[in-house]
Amino acid sequence: MKVVVAHCCQVTGELGANMEIWEADKLVLFIAFVIPGFISIKCYQLFYPGVLRNASDQLIDAVAYSCINYALLLWPIMAIEQSVLRTVHPMLYCMFYVLVLFIAPIFWVVLWKWMRTWNVFQKNAPHPVAKSWDFVFQQRKQYWIIVHFKSGEKIGGKYGTKSFASSSPAVEQIYLEEEWLVENGVLQRAVKESAGVLIGASEISHIEFLNYHG
């Protein structure tokens, strides 16, 4: 494993130096042990945005995930290599490795995301979403919202289909498509000609979420 990682790091470094990565053997090694893991990483980040990592750390993760991908597919790979598919049906042979390299890494991420919903994982493993901000807004639900500022002021609004909330690693911000006046802790009426309001989390004390019934 360490040898593969070291060799892939060497290949990646040579890319900027003299483009030797385009030599056939190094290109095959790069595709085989980096691309599947890289696809898994990017797919996972779409489901669970998180802290950005530097390139060297991502390379090591990509190689590790690629090896896991091959380990899970070891039996079908061995079966294909021991068959006559390569000579009899070369197109199907190529399609199989397209599946291994590009489709399977996505499937494993989707499977892992589904498994994380099981009670056994939720009880014994950390939640994959690091921030409650992301957990709430990733659900894409509509709410009536009252934003309490550190200054004591309040702003109400509708968080609907045209609203938006940032996600990690971006700084938390929320856009409400409608701004409402708040009186005595209750949403009273929409601000006339309001096109919404953009709020930065640095000014927020807390947020109230009220069920939306359109």
Residue linked to tokens 């070291």: 6
Residues with Cβ within 8 Å of residue 7, at least 6 apart in sequence:
29
Residues 85-122 pLDDT 10s: 989 999 999 999 999 999 999 999 999 888 887 878 77
As a dihedral over the C-alpha atoms of residue 44, residue 49, residue 55, residue 59, rounded to 10 degrees, the angle is: -20
Q: Where does the pLDDT of residue 213 fall: very low under 50, low under 70, confident under 90, or very high at 90 and above? A: confident
- C-alpha–C-alpha distance, residues 7 and 65, integer Å: 16
Length of the chain: 214
Taking a C-beta distance cutoff of 8 angstroms, is the pair 162, 177 a contact? yes
Domain 132-211 has CATH 2.30.30.100: yes
End-to-end CA distance of the chain: 55
Considering the chain, tell me which residue range(s) the CATH 2.30.30.100 domain(s) occupy: 132-211
Average pLDDT, the chain: 84
190 backbone dihedrals φ, ψ, rounded to 5°: -70, 145
Nearest to 137 by CA among 175, 174, 165: 165
Residues 165-205 pLDDT 10s: 998 878 899 999 999 999 988 999 999 988 999 999 888 99
